[in-house]
Structure 1
Amino acid sequence: MTTETNSGSCCGTGSCSSNATIDVQGVGVTAIYKVSGMTCGHCEGAVSQEVSDLEGVTAVTADAKTGEVAVTSAAMLDEETVRAAVDEAGYELVGRV
């Protein structure tokens, strides 16, 4: 399990590792969201951690290169709930892909 915390800023250089994944159980429905502002592995980890804390989420995979976050949950999540988690991590949810 990958866990990283957001210190409020990111390296912004794109030199960090990528594709942070948090996998709790890996079952349910998957939705893909576009998130702006992710540039590195730290960004991916921050978004993944916040979204994985949402009730019902079983897996999160964030990819800074594509700006996409795949969220697997027991049931489809309310987009505003996901938006709030992404905002808490310091990034902007553009919408569902």
Structure 2
Amino acid sequence: MTESVILTVTGMKCGGCESNVTNKLKAVEGVLSVKASARDNEVSVEYDAEKTDLDAIEEAITEAGFSVE
């Protein structure tokens, strides 16, 4: 089952930060698409809920060096 979530992520300042978050999330099994915006402090994620969950997504963002609010 495909689900979508928009998370508020702090600490992103530039396109490099967006790429870092995007690449980290795309490495999570079950993540289908990612759109990160440093300007809006948001990350939009579409994922397969049978393969991953919100906790894994938030953990990947934290491992990339950013905070999820």
TM-score normalised by the chain length of structure 1 = 0.63
Q: Which of 17, 21, 25 is the matching residue for 1:51?
A: 25
For residue 13 of structure 2, give the secondary structure of its aligned residue in structure 1. coil
Match of 2:16 in 1: 42
- Structure 1 residues 85 and 75 mapped into 2: Cα distance closer, same or farther (>3 Å)? same
Higher helix share: 2
CA RMSD of aligned residues (A): 1.5
Letter in 2 for 1:42: G
How far 1:46 sits from its partner (Å)? 0.4
How far 1:35 sits from its partner (Å)? 0.5
Matched, 1:79 2:54: yes
Stretches of structure 1 lacking an aligned partner (at least 5 in a row): 1-27
Higher strand share: 2
Match of 1:89 in 2: 64
The structure whose Rg is larger is 1
- Alignment length, in residue pairs? 67
**Residues 14-25 of structure 1 aligned to structure 2 (within 5 Å):** none
TM-score normalised by the chain length of structure 2 = 0.86
Higher relative contact order (CA 8 A, sep 6+): 2
- Runs of 4+ with >3 A deviation: none
Supply the distance in 1 between the matched residues of 2:54 and 2:9 (Cα, whole angstroms). Answer: 12
Stretches of structure 2 lacking an aligned partner (at least 5 in a row): none
